[in-house]
């Protein structure tokens, strides 16, 4: 069953239960209080009848005249003056003992049989005690209850139908964002993983669902790009050192080679084997960064403290480099500096950027700045090195791609792509600004809060 039908059915059932309870409540209290006015009219007649029939008073004739003129006679109205000493029934029907018990306590008693009502009270006179009972029919009250019953039954079924229609429209309206998400997700395939869902402003479940899909697509896109890059580049990058090693082995195995030539061939084989090892290590690191990064635990990390660790580790590789950390824009609140990240991966990503800055700056100043705007935390690494030609900037994050002016520097073109993959896994981004011969600035932007 579709969610819309389930919501509609549940809405209709809940509405039926609520309307049933409300109708029962209305019916109960209407039934209890519908005849209250009629009982009061009977009780007034009981008092007047007692005054006229039981008490000798000069005003009795006036009471009788007023009763006849101003009190209309009720349908089937009868009055009974009962002497309690007589054992024979003096009423048109046998009334319950509870009725007489209430009368004997001095209170006004009430009783109803279908549409026939009784009201009675005990009066003490000089001649003795008497019970005055007035009975009458109330066709109007009963008719009103019957009409109310019909109205409640008809209203119940009409309300159920209306609640079903409203529930269907309501569920259809509420599920529009979900249908849009489904429609958008169906359009996304392996060849267009760059597409993202439209996330509406707010923190409702639909926005969270769309954001969750986008986060998943970020990871999938990274994984697919990593896989494609690995496949497309591995064969090319691995073939070159293997070809060299194979050629040198054949050369060393030729008869008549002297020891010096063999030593030279073995040295070349060793160098190419080391190069092959570096390439394999880089490829594996690049491939592993395409996963969700949760093979290692995520933890709360203060990024300013992490920058000191990165500075120390890079200085061990480039001891002559000058690395300066700029804390002038550091926020005072610790929460604006703390991120929940995979510390090892983030440290690797930033270290790659700082290492490149040191390597290509020829021992000139490398500045690391950290800044937070309340939503994101950015780390800017600026060098005064050789810079990147404008034609190469768009390819700089492609695996194994190296700028045209880096031939004099040893490298494999994996550091920045690896950093980009890691930053993407943390829902961040990397911006680059460079000018050849002037220097390069790479800014890593990470969200402060998990989405």
- Supply the pTM of this predicted model: 0.48
Q: How would you classify the pairing of strands 128-137 and 322-326? A: unpaired
- Mean per-residue pLDDT, 387-405: 86
Q: Is 215 exposed, middle or buried (0-12, 13-18, 19+ CB in 10 A)?
A: middle
Lowest mean pLDDT: which of 29-33, 209-213, 387-391?
29-33
Q: pLDDT at position 45, please?
A: 86
pLDDT digits (tens, 9 = 90+) for 345-360: 888 889 889 999 999 9
Fold matches, 189-292 and 299-447: no
Instruction: Return the sign of the alpha-carbon dihedral for residues 136, 140, 144, 150.
Output: positive
Q: What CATH number matches the domain at 299-447, 1.10.4160.10, 1.20.1090.10, 3.30.565.10, 3.30.70.360?
A: 3.30.565.10
Query: What is 36-137's CATH number?
Result: 3.30.450
CATH 1.10.287 fits 189-292, yes or no: yes
Q: At which residue do the structure tokens 């001095």 appear?
A: 106
Query: What is the C-alpha to C-alpha distance for residues 366 and 354, in angstroms, rounded to an integer?
Result: 8
Report helix angle 303-317 to 343-360, nearest 10: 50
Instruction: Determine the Cα–Cα distance for residues 369 and 329; give it in Å rounded to an integer.
Output: 8
Where in the chain are the domains? 3-32+144-174, 36-137, 189-292, 299-447
What is the average pLDDT across 155-171? 85
Greater confidence, 428 or 334? 428
Which pLDDT band holds residue 261 (cuts at 50, 70, 90)?
Answer: confident
Beta bridge partners of 431: 443
pLDDT in tens, 55-89: 766 566 666 666 665 567 788 888 888 887 775 55
pLDDT at position 293: 45
Highest mean pLDDT, choosing among 42-56, 148-162, 216-230, 380-394: 380-394
Q: Kindly tell me the number of DSSP H helices and DSSP E strands found in the chain.
A: 12, 11
- Over range 233-241, report the average pLDDT: 61
With a cut of 80, say whether residue 290 has pLDDT above it: no
DSSP per-residue codes, 65-109 = HHHHHHSPPPTT-EEEEE-TT--S--SSSPPPHHHHHHHHTTSPE
Find the DSSP H helices in 197-302. 205-253, 259-288
């Amino acid at each position: 069953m579709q969610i819309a039908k389930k919501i509609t059915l549940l809405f209709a059932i809940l509405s039926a239960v609520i309307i049933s309870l409300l109708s029962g409540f209305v019916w109960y209290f209407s039934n209890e209080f519908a005849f209250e006015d009629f009982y009061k009219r009977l009780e007034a007649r009981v008092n007047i009848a007692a005054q006229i029939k039981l008490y000798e008073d000069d005003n009795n004739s006036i009471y009788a005249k007023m009763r006849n003129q101003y009190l209309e006679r009720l349908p089937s109205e009868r009055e009974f003056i009962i002497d309690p000493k007589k054992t024979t029934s003096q009423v048109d029907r046998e009334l319950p003992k509870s009725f007489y018990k209430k009368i004997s306590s001095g209170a006004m008693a009430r009783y109803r049989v279908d549409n026939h009502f009784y009201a009675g009270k005990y009066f003490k006179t000089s001649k003795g005690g008497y019970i005055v009972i007035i009975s009458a029919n109330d066709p109007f009250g009963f008719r009103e209850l019957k009409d109310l019953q019909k109205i409640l039954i008809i209203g119940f079924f009409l309300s159920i139908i209306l609640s079903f229609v409203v529930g269907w429209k309501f569920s259809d309206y509420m599920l529009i964002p979900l249908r849009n998400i489904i429609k958008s997700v169906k359009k996304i395939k392996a060849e267009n993983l760059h597409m993202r869902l439209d996330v509406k402003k707010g923190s409702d479940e639909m926005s969270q669902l769309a954001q969750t899909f986008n986060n998943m697509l970020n990871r999938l896109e990274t994984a697919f790009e990593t896989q494609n890059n690995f496949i497309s580049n591995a064969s090319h990058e691995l073939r070159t050192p293997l070809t060299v090693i194979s050629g040198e082995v054949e050369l060393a195995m030729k008869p008549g080679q002297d020891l010096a030539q063999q030593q030279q061939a073995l040295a070349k084989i060793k160098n190419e084997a080391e190069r092959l090892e570096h390439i394999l290590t880089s490829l594996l690191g690049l491939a592993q960064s395409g996963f969700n990064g949760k093979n290692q635990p995520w933890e709360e990390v203060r990024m300013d403290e992490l920058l000191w660790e990165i500075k120390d580790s890079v200085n061990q590789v480039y001891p002559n480099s000058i690395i300066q950390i700029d804390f002038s824009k550091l926020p005072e609140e610790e929460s604006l500096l703390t991120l929940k990240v995979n510390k090892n991966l983030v440290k690797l990503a930033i270290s790659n950027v700082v290492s490149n800055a040191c390597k290509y700056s020829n021992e000139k100043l490398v500045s690391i700045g950290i800044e937070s705007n309340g939503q994101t935390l950015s780390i800017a690494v600026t060098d005064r090195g050789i810079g990147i030609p404008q034609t190469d900037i768009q390819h700089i994050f492609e695996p194994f791609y190296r700028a045209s002016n880096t031939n004099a520097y040893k490298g494999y073109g994996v550091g920045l792509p690896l950093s980009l993959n890691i930053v993407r896994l943390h829902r961040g981004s990397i911006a680059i600004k460079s000018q050849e011969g002037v220097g390069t600035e790479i800014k890593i932007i990470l969200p402060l809060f998990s989405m």
